[in-house]
């Protein structure tokens, strides 16, 4: 088999979503993996979601992706982070069964029509005169396609570092890709060198869990996928412990052996997920740091020590681990390591994730300088959708910052670039109260349907939810007499009203929510958690949401002013030289994106808006 519509290089979380999006929209797709055992592999922590990342997974699901479905199938614990804070920062986080996550995703890929999964290493990309591309494999085989999605993760010229030991391999000892970086350079693509890492794994039988704080899952919360209707099935617990002064002293005494400080590591590491030695140096005033012990799978005793990433020599790693309460006798099963890898400078991409100077080449995931499974999968589904639309000669999809966290993520990396592994956070999303996990389907399912990824089953579930929301909102006008609600108000620490009130009036009180009202008056007993929760948030934050929607409308005005592809920034006077250089490099699609380009001032944007309107008028007059 030589010819395909699309080839996806890399079968990590970005590659899986891209390949599924392409195949499910009718394209004959080849998904290449260096090793089929690494398909959808959870190379670092055995979890999906987390702060802001949980929102990404729900958005992937709403568009018709697979990550949320696969997580719900294989989770062993589910929690909602930041429950004590507002809904703008609450995020789902699951412990997934690492082994089953891989098994179930591989099974899905193998059974998807139009999708061909193959083990093989891509070593060279050739752009043919007819617009097609040829991928040369290390084994001597050539395969052709009209589009390519690069989703190579951290495998490009990767090497692991443990103390002064280095090895040219990928995560977990999987083979790396040594030659593809050179092929990308030959295409004129600028590469960066980044670094990440992963903690040690210890044998659960050697851990004294009685000394640790238990972290349980939650049953009555939403799932990642809007297709999943059963409650989360929590099968395991996590544990919390802390570093101490002894741990910190061991690290400080051995800093000369730390590759991150000795110069052995050349790649730039993640600011928001640093190694433990970096934490000790950067936050010298902190007496302790949290460590979470997380089960990797129900079928293994391996325990992941979250927060304890290091590249220290193995003898130092052992002393560090044994200094922690509960881990005094822990048996290390896998050593912690740092990993360096090549990635591309992401401002070379359009917001569609297509390379600006090479038609039909799309990039997604950690090759774009991001970190995290969720960020990778989010880019994967967008790259897959746009590669499919490219094949159909249709307008490609650009998600705006007001559409979702996916829009924020992509806009950030292609407009501003990144000089370190980019991580999604709620603080990056200016409309985060509007971009919640619970309403991801209401925001994005119609978009997923339009591009052909949302199935009839998902479409029905979406419309059923809208109907249910309409029904539950009608109940908000139900009135209760003072005699019926007086005790209820007092029990919840609220001063009783002086007359009868509606359910909506009750919901406006700080200490009363829809679940408490339902427990007392059974008014919402015909609705499930998802509908009650969504309505509760929409009513309680009605004023704030209205304000944010007004801000979004203002934001959209600048996004609608399109900058023509052939607009010549140097032709017109009024723009500063720095602004011209930055705008020519980024090639923003609209005034909104231009306003977010580093080095472009508000004064530049005011001038540019006038020039673009003038350019458009001149073009109309010349027709």
What pLDDT is stored for residue 536 in this prediction?
A: 97
What pLDDT is stored for residue 366 in this prediction?
A: 98
Selection from 119, 148, 43 nearest residue 366 by Cα? 43
Burial 236-265, CB ≥16 within 10 A → b, else e: ebbbebbbeeebbebbeebeebbbbeeebb
Q: pLDDT > 90: what percent of the chain?
A: 92
Q: Per the domain annotation, does 553 fall within a domain?
A: no
Selection from 417, 389, 420, 376 nearest residue 152 by Cα? 376
The reply to whether 104 and 234 lie within a common domain is: no
What pLDDT is stored for residue 621 in this prediction?
A: 59
Residue 476: how many other CB atoms lie within 10 Å: 16
Q: What is the DSSP letter of 281?
A: H
Tokens of 61: 């699901």
What pLDDT is stored for residue 274 in this prediction?
A: 87
CATH number of the domain within which 257 lies:
2.40.30.260
Q: Per the domain annotation, does 465 fall within a domain?
A: no
Q: Per the domain annotation, does 166 fall within a domain?
A: yes
CATH number of the domain within which 21 lies:
3.50.50.60
Instruction: Please report where in the chains the tokens 């000892």 appear, as a residue.
Output: 173
What pLDDT is stored for residue 44 in this prediction?
A: 93
**Which residues, 6 or more positions from 127, have their beta carbon under 8 angstroms from its beta carbon?**
133, 187, 358
Distance CA 199, CA 589 (A): 41
Q: Per the domain annotation, does 606 fall within a domain?
A: yes
The reply to whether 44 and 153 lie within a common domain is: yes
**What is the Rg, in whole angstroms, of the alpha carbon atoms belonging to the chain?**
26
Q: How far is CA 295 from the centre of its chain?
A: 22
Structural domain ending residue among the three candidates 547, 568, 589: 547
CATH number of the domain within which 531 lies:
1.10.10.1800
Distance CA 537, CA 88 (A): 10
pLDDT tens for each residue of 577-589:
999 999 999 999 9
How would you classify residue 159: left for phi > 0, otherwise alpha for psi between -120 and 50, otherwise beta?
beta
The reply to whether 268 and 214 lie within a common domain is: yes
Tokens of 568: 């010549």
Instruction: Please report where in the chains the tokens 């959708």 appear, as a residue.
Output: 385
The reply to whether 15 and 111 lie within a common domain is: yes
Per the structure, the complete domain to which residue 566 belongs is given by 560-621
In the Cβ-directed half-sphere of 218, how many Cα atoms lie within 13 Å? 13
The reply to whether 484 and 523 lie within a common domain is: yes
Tokens of 607: 């001038």
Q: Per the domain annotation, does 554 fall within a domain?
A: no
Largest Cα–Cα separation, the chain: 83
In the Cβ-directed half-sphere of 596, how many Cα atoms lie within 13 Å? 23
Structural domain ending residue among the three candidates 338, 371, 401: 338
Tokens of 185: 């350079």
The reply to whether 208 and 324 lie within a common domain is: yes
Distance CA 267, CA 113 (A): 40
| 3-state class (DSSP) for residue 49 | strand
Selection from 2, 126, 125, 13 nearest residue 368 by Cα? 13
Residue 112: how many other CB atoms lie within 10 Å: 18
Structural domain ending residue among the three candidates 279, 310, 338: 338
Q: Per the domain annotation, does 503 fall within a domain?
A: yes
pLDDT tens for each residue of 401-429:
999 999 999 999 999 999 999 999 999 99
What pLDDT is stored for residue 266 in this prediction?
A: 85
The reply to whether 585 and 494 lie within a common domain is: no
Segments of the chain scoring below 50 in pLDDT: none
The reply to whether 47 and 114 lie within a common domain is: yes
Distance CA 378, CA 368 (A): 12
The reply to whether 47 and 121 lie within a common domain is: yes
What pLDDT is stored for residue 468 in this prediction?
A: 97
The reply to whether 8 and 97 lie within a common domain is: yes
What pLDDT is stored for residue 1 in this prediction?
A: 54
Q: Per the domain annotation, does 326 fall within a domain?
A: yes
Backbone angles phi, psi at 219, to 5 degrees: -95, -40
In the Cβ-directed half-sphere of 620, how many Cα atoms lie within 13 Å? 6
Distance CA 527, CA 519 (A): 12
The reply to whether 37 and 134 lie within a common domain is: yes
What pLDDT is stored for residue 623 in this prediction?
A: 55
Tell me how many helices (H) and strands (E) the chain has.
21, 22
Residue 566: how many other CB atoms lie within 10 Å: 7
User: Interhelix angle for 67-74 vs 98-110, to 10°?
Assistant: 130
SS3 string of 246-268?
HHHHHHHHCHHHCHHHHCCCCCE
Q: Per the domain annotation, does 462 fall within a domain?
A: no
Q: In this structure, which long-range contacts are made by residues 25-28, counting pairs with CB atoms below 8 Å and at least 24 apart in sequence?
A: 25/385, 25/388, 25/451, 25/452, 25/453, 26/114, 26/388, 26/452, 27/114, 27/387, 27/388, 27/391, 28/4, 28/114, 28/116
Spatial strand order in the sheet of 165-167: 165-167, 159-162, 337-344, 191-198
Query: Total structural domains in the chain?
Result: 4
Sign of torsion over alpha carbons 603, 604, 605, 609? positive
The reply to whether 482 and 594 lie within a common domain is: no
Selection from 171, 159, 154 nearest residue 14 by Cα? 154
For the chain, the residue count is: 623
């Amino acid at each position: 088999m030589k010819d395909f519509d699309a080839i996806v290089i890399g079968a990590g979380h970005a590659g899986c979503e891209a390949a599924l999006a392409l195949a499910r929209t009718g394209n004959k797709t080849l998904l290449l993996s260096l090793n089929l055992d690494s398909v959808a592999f959870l190379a670092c922590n055995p979890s999906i979601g987390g702060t802001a990342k949980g929102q990404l997974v729900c958005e992937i699901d709403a568009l018709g992706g697979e990550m949320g479905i696969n997580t719900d199938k294989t989770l062993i614990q589910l929690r909602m982070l930041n429950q004590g804070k507002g809904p703008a920062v609450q995020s789902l986080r699951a412990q997934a069964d690492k082994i089953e996550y891989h098994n179930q995703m591989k099974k899905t890929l193998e059974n998807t029509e139009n999708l061909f999964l193959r083990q093989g290493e891509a070593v060279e990309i050739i752009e043919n005169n007819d617009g097609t591309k040829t991928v040369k494999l290390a084994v001597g085989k050539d395969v052709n396609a009209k589009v390519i999605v690069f989703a190579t993760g951290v495998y490009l010229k990767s090497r692991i570092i443990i103390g002064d030991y280095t090895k040219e391999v990928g995560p977990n000892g999987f083979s790396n890709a040594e030659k593809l970086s050179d092929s990308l350079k030959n295409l004129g693509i600028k590469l960066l060198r980044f670094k990440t890492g992963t903690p040690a794994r210890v044998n659960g039988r050697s851990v004294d869990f009685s000394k640790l704080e238990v972290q349980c899952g939650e049953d009555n919360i939403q799932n990642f996928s809007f297709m999943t209707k059963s409650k989360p099935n929590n099968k395991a617990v996590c544990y919390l412990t802390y570093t101490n002064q002894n741990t910190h002293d061991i690290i400080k005494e051995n800093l000369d052996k730390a590759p991150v400080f000795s110069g052995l590591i050349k790649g730039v590491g993640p600011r928001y997920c640093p190694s433990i030695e970096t934490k000790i140096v950067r936050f010298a005033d902190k007496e302790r740091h949290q460590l979470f012990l997380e089960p990797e799978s129900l079928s293994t005793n391996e325990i992941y020590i979250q927060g304890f990433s290091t590249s220290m020599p193995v003898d130092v790693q052992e002393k560090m681990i044994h200094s922690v309460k509960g881990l005094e006798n822990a048996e290390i099963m896998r050593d912690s390591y740092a990993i360096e890898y090549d990635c591309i400078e992401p401002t070379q991409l359009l917001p569609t994730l297509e390379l600006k100077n090479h038609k039909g080449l799309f990039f997604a995931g950690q090759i774009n300088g991001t970190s995290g499974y969720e960020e990778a999968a989010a880019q994967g589904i967008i790259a897959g959708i746009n590669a499919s639309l490219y094949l159909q000669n249709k307008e490609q999809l650009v998600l705006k910052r007001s559409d979702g966290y996916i829009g924020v993520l992509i806009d950030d990396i292609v407009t501003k670039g990144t000089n370190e592994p980019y991580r999604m956070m709620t603080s990056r999303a200016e409309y985060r109260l509007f971009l919640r996990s619970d309403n991801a389907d209401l925001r994005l399912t119609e978009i997923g349907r339009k591009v052909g990824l949302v199935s009839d089953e998902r479409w029905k579930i979406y419309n059923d939810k809208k109907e249910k929301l309409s029904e539950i909102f009608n109940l908000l006008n139900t009135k209760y007499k003072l005699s019926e609600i007086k005790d209820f108000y007092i029990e919840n620490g609220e001063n009783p009203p002086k007359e009868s009130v509606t359910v909506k009036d009750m919901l406006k009180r700080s200490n009363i929510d829809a679940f408490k009202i339902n427990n007392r008056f059974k008014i919402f007993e015909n609705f499930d958690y998802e509908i009650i929760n969504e309505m509760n948030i929409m009513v309680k934050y009605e004023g704030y949401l209205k304000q944010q929607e007004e801000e979004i409308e203002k934001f959209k005005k600048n996004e609608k002013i399109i900058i023509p592809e052939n607009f010549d920034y140097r032709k017109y006077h009024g723009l500063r030289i720095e602004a011209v250089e930055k705008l020519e490099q980024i090639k923003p699609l609209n005034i909104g994106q231009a306003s977010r380009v580093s080095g472009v001032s508000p004064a530049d944007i005011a001038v540019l808006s006038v020039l673009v309107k003038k350019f458009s008028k001149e073009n109309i007059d010349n027709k």
